[in-house]
Amino acid sequence: MPIQWFPGHMTQARKQAAEAMASTDVVIEVLDARLPEASSNPMIHALRRHRSRPCLKLLNKSDLADPVITQAWLDHFAALPGTAAVALSCRKPAEVARVTKLAQALAPHRDDNLKPLRMMVMGIPNVGKSTLINALLRRRTAKVGDEPAVTKVTHRYDLSPRMFLIDTPGLMWPKIEHDSDGYMLAASHAIGRNAVIDEEVATYLADLLLARYPALLAARYKCDVAGMDGVALIEAIARGRGYRGKGGVADLEKASLTLLQDYRDGVLGRISLETPESRRAMLQSASIADTPQAAAD
Binding residues for GTP: 60-63, 126-131, 170
147 with 220: CB under 8 angstroms?
Answer: no
Q: What is the Cα Rg of the chain in Å?
A: 20
DSSP 247: G
Start-to-end Cα distance in the chain: 22
Closest CA to 263 of 208, 224, 223: 208
189 torsion bin: left (phi>0), alpha (psi -120 to 50), beta (else): left
Q: How far apart are CA 63 and CA 89, in angstroms?
A: 6
Q: How far apart are CA 21 and CA 151, in angstroms?
A: 18
The binding site comprises: 60-63, 126-131, 170
Quick one: 289 exposed, middle or buried, by C-beta within 10 A (0-12, 13-18, 19+)? exposed
Q: Which residues of 96-113 are buried (b: 16+ CB within 10 A; e: fewer)?
A: beebbebbbebbeebeee
Cα-based distances in Å from 88 to 78, 93, 190, 270, 292: 16, 10, 18, 14, 43
Residues 6+ apart with CB under 8 A from 174: 6
Query: Which amino acid, residue 281?
Result: A
Q: How far apart are CA 121 and CA 9, in angstroms?
A: 18
Q: Please name the residue ranges forming H helices in 9-144.
A: 9-21, 42-51, 67-78, 93-96, 99-106, 129-137
